[in-house]
Amino acid sequence: MTLPLTIEYSVRVLIAMGNFPFGSKFNIKAISQEQGIPEKYLRKIIPQLTGAGLLVSQKGSGGGIGLAKDAENISLLDVILAIEGDIFLNRCTFSETFCHKTPWCAVHSTWVEAQEQLKAFLATRSIKHLAAQTAINKLTLTA
């Protein structure tokens, strides 16, 4: 299982903003170049992130994009939910009526437990933390 490129790009964009003070504005073209994301693709992602309350976007002179809330309050789970919707490891975790075996199936309960643990883990990883760790990793590699 691999997460879609849209999620990777979304995370990259948010991490690029994560070490700056809340309220900072960013140029879409500059972020596109810095993060290696095609600008056309980035412009398609921004409305999804804006609609989910993760980004704000302002057109015109003095405009740009910025975080809609402090990076500490945005998790990896928030990004995945904004782009893909809820996480389901198997179709039976999406709907208990999908399979008649669900009430007694040990695999179903295993999928549900793994899904809950994955969501809980992703919810603990804030964009702020990831941005700070990325900055430290960059410094370590270039030193």
Among candidates 37, 20, 31, 125, which has minimal Cα distance to 80? 125
Q: Residue range 33-58: average pLDDT? A: 95
Provide the pLDDT for residue 94.
73
Residue-wise pLDDT tens digits, 80-120: 999 999 988 877 777 767 776 767 778 878 888 999 999 99
Averaged pLDDT score across all residues of the chain = 90
CATH for 13:
1.10.10.10
Measured CA to CA, the distance from residue 66 to residue 18 in angstroms comes to 10
* Contact criterion met (CB below 8 Å) for 67 and 17: yes
Provide the pLDDT for residue 71.
97
Residues 6+ apart with CB under 8 A from 31: 13, 16, 17, 37, 42, 65
Measured CA to CA, the distance from residue 66 to residue 20 in angstroms comes to 10
Residues 6+ apart with CB under 8 A from 73: 126
Instruction: Quote the number of domains for the chain.
Output: 1
Full domain range(s) for residue 95: 5-142
CA angle 25, 46, 116 (to 5 degrees): 110
Greater model confidence, 61 or 80: 80
Q: Phi-psi bin for 46: left (phi > 0), alpha (psi -120 to 50), beta? A: alpha
